[in-house]
Amino acid sequence: MNYGELRAQTARGWNTWFSPSMTAHVLLPYGFAVNLCFKHFADSGLVRNLKVGDHGLRPGSRSWDGTYTYLSFRLGPLDVTVESAAVGGEQIILVTPTGEIGDGMRRPALVIEGALLWGKPGQLFKQNGKIGARFDDGKTIEIHTTGQPDAYTHTSALCPCLCVTLEPSVPVAVSTTHVTAQEARRLLDEARAKVVSEEAAYGDLAGAYQAMRSCLAWDTIYEPEHDRICSPVSRSWSEGSGGYVLFDWDTYFAALMCGLGSRELAYLNAFAITSEATEDGFIPNFASSDGFRSRDRSQPPVGSLVTLRLWERFRDDWFVTEIFPALLKWNEWFAAHRTLPDGTMAWGSEKYAPRLGRYFEVSDTGNLQGAKFESGLDNSPMYDGAAFDEKRQIMLLSDVGLTGLFIEDCRCLIRLAEIAGRTEEIPALRARMEAAEAALESMWNPDTGIFENRDAVTGKFSHRISPTNLYALFSSRVSAEQKKSVSEKYLLNPDELGGEFMLPSISRSDPAFPDQDYWRGRIWAPMNYLVYEALSEAGMDTEKRLLAASSLKVLLGEWEEHGHVHENYSGIDGQGCDKPNSNNFYHWGGLLGYIAVVESGRG
């Protein structure tokens, strides 16, 4: 097996592959879509390209592979559910409207479009009251519906479509084979039962698994530029980036979470972001359509950690063997480009000749903000006022977080080198790890009892504390006394990083904490996960359990109330909807549940 073969095997079947809409059901490799649109005549315009939050859209239980999906939303006075099941190569969809419509009011319409996406070859048709497509290999797909024809004609559809009336409490089946609404209901119930039983296997963590799987599976799309399946952070981010966008650590974490239920999707995501490596050999901060990527900066090096965790779960040596060379080159790049003279490490951003001239390609490169972007913590107070070396194009702030992550990267790569049969690389990796561990020791501040960032110009410690300071626990040289100090003074201290809602992205005692704006005090799942891994490495079991419990509470609060999995959450009350710049269906929020699943031993 290799990545090419995996792509060919997985880019097929019915699923919600089309990024712009959660009510489009697409068959690969044909690219044929059954797209559902909705018209409430008291409003202008056609409701199409639905995403979480649009018309109160709320996702529910669904499978990883699209064999069952569920969502609900509001259409005027009606609540509408859309369920689908892929059964024996056929697609079954049931649209169920409930509620009341006043006498004399026109009923809403369901517009069923049959479309060919991504320039795929085929011939669309509408004849004898049916729509569908024919393909060169002789395959024909017809769309059938139990709905009654509606007179609505101003659909703005650019492809063959059917319009049917939505009557309250009258389910409408839409399918590629002849089924009644009752038969569709039975097939959907069977598919749903399997999905629900998979959630139930997690016991009291069923909700965490449901939230994580739902968000990841809905965010999984077909990306035609590279003919692959992958899971961008959200559909809205992809659309705003010209078709797709993959972020570095975000996509590796997507791979990690997918490992709980879909080996194929886990590997697809790990390979997708790794294959975006720049010409210089590092995994970029982001990569999107038309070859656009951040060639000035990388992001936290978590790929080896995720790869090792996936190998520990599945034991597929071929996966490690194929991905290892790129991860090793990335590690070498970090050592060469982000190491300060004293051996500590710092974030950076390098000037380069832009290829496309897009805004993010030419702005904030080769400067302090670009280095902040590389950290992944775009506006963290830790970096307020930091100096930047224009010549070396590196932030002049020894960073505990990066140094700790690099240590863990080396440790994981040593194990991966053994698995991949690349033992000749181990001495150099061990030397880099030991050098970083030695440098990290100099970042311990005995006066405050924690490892602190240090100004590379003045030599003074920075007292701004975030969860990244705890990444020092990845080092094997951290003493028992240091662990005790970090735990009692910071991790479990409700005036610092502890409390009911953990972990704020800057200490509660920091003057920036009340900002609650992005990395200025919000709770971020990737930080919690990396701290959890560091605590595991350090053998701090009590702290691990407390962090897992708090993380779960944060995730379930928004999921159970709104069906949201947020990009970040309030460090004050754990809410996600309190800030408009917290995307409400961003898959790495599911790491909060992943931590709890792993801690329970079910992962």
Q: Determine the Cα–Cα distance for residues 483 and 475; give it in Å rounded to an integer.
A: 11
pLDDT at 359 (0 to 100): 61
Contact 497, 508 (CB under 8 A): yes
pLDDT at 129 (0 to 100): 85
pLDDT tens digits for range 28-53: 999 999 999 999 988 778 899 989 98
Query: Dihedral of the CA atoms 96, 98, 104, 110 (nearest 10)?
Result: -20
The token pair at 65 is: 């592979």
pLDDT tens digits for range 190-216: 999 999 999 999 999 999 999 999 999
Tell me the CATH class for 203-600.
mainly alpha
Contacts of 458 (CB under 8 A, 6+ apart): none
pLDDT at 104 (0 to 100): 79
The token pair at 459 is: 């030599």
3-state secondary structure of 126: strand
The mean pLDDT of the chain is 96
Confidence check: pLDDT of 464 > 90: yes
Of 98-102, 170-174, 210-214, 215-219, where does mean pLDDT reach its minimum? 98-102
pLDDT tens digits for range 310-358: 999 999 999 999 999 999 999 999 999 999 999 999 999 998 877 666 6
Is 3-176+183-200 assigned to CATH 2.70.98.110? Answer: yes
Query: Dihedral of the CA atoms 44, 49, 54, 55 (nearest 10)?
Result: 50
Alpha helices in 102-229 (DSSP H): 181-200, 206-219
pLDDT at 128 (0 to 100): 87
Closest CA to 533 of 248, 314, 192, 305: 305
Q: If pLDDT is split at 50, 70 and 90, which confidence band does 239 have? A: confident
Confidence check: pLDDT of 139 > 80: yes
Q: If pLDDT is split at 50, 70 and 90, which confidence band does 288 have? A: very high
Confidence check: pLDDT of 362 > 90: no
Contact 375, 300 (CB under 8 A): yes
Domain positions in the chain: 3-176+183-200, 203-600
Alpha helices in 30-108 (DSSP H): none
